[in-house]
Amino acid sequence: MWEVKVAISGPYNFDLALSRLALDPLHVVDIEKRSVKVPLVLDDKKVVAEVIGTGTLENPEFLIRANLEKEKTIQRLTEIFQWDVELIHIHEHFQTTQLKDLFIEHYGTPLVLEFDPFSSLIKSIIHQQLNLKFAFTLTDRFVKTFGEEMDGVWFYPSPEKVASLTVERLRELQFSGRKAEYVIGIAELAASGKLDFKKLKSQSDAEIAQELIKIRGVGPWTVQNFLMFALGRPNMFPMGDIGIQNALKKFFNLEQKPTPAEMEVYKEPWNPYLSYASLYLWRSIE
């Protein structure tokens, strides 16, 4: 077991990040201890890393503990928790916009990524067109049936494992037939290397969108979700997302949800940090 301290520049609200992670029952979050256990797959090795917040909002510090792969673990956790993003610049950008008060209220909230790109895409597919409670239940069932537990933390099943499943097997868990086909199809592409997540990382938003949209079951919402929460792209605004529409309606005291044309006007001043506008709008109604 190794442990190391990491200090970053503030603001960084780890407690708000933890409260959002805690919405997913698969995440091992301890709010009082200010910790989360993160399942990582690094060069085919499974690593459980514990991240404990030991600092403050303005002087964030973290204690990291794990068994293996020290440098790669720190590097991946830095990506997941976006420790290299200077949130103060983003906060200052929004102080000249209509979202000023929202950014004051949720000051220092980071965009925390899903722990793994493949599981991020699979989770998006499972969550499509379901209410959040059942979406989490179905994901939990899927992971605990086919995934692997280590040190009290669940790892999503590998692409190879999911590719070997049948539609009937997923139907037993209450997947729709179509959703089961989508999940297995994506796993087959990932297992064969046709869907290469390392390669995607180095591509532009438009290139990634072009590649993913060809996949059965992947629509614009899923692409934007993946770009934001799997790859941490900072300028995503999924206008078709009902949560964002409801948040805008509430924030601007509108009588009905905004039209796409109205949303285009609203979002213009929020460039190039639309992902943070999306996140803070979601937070405002969670």
Residue 46 lies in a domain: yes
Q: What is the rounded CA–CA span in Å between residue 221 and residue 235?
A: 14
pLDDT surpasses 90 at 132: no
Residue 44 lies in a domain: yes
222 plus 121 within the same structural domain: yes
Q: For residue range 45-60, what is the model confidence (pLDDT) as tens digits?
A: 999 999 999 999 999 9
Q: Which two tokens stand for residue 57?
A: 């909002």
80 plus 126 within the same structural domain: no
Domain tally, the chain? 2
Residue 274 lies in a domain: no
What residue numbers bound the domain in which 16 lies?
A: 2-84
Residue 48 lies in a domain: yes
| The domain boundary residue, chosen from 84, 106, 133 | 84
Q: For residue range 151-171, what is the model confidence (pLDDT) as tens digits?
A: 999 999 999 999 999 999 999
Residue 264 lies in a domain: no
| The domain boundary residue, chosen from 191, 210, 229 | 229
Residue 96 lies in a domain: no
- Rounded to whole angstroms, what are the CA distances from 268 to 132, 195, 262? 29, 33, 10
Q: Which residues contact 72 (CB under 8 A, 6 or more apart)?
A: 42, 43
pTM recorded for the entire structure: 0.94
Give the residue numbers annotated as catalytic, written as ranges.
Answer: 241
Across all residues in the chain, what is the average pLDDT? 96
Q: For residue range 71-92, what is the model confidence (pLDDT) as tens digits?
A: 999 999 999 999 999 999 999 9
What's the CATH number where 180 sits? 1.10.340.30
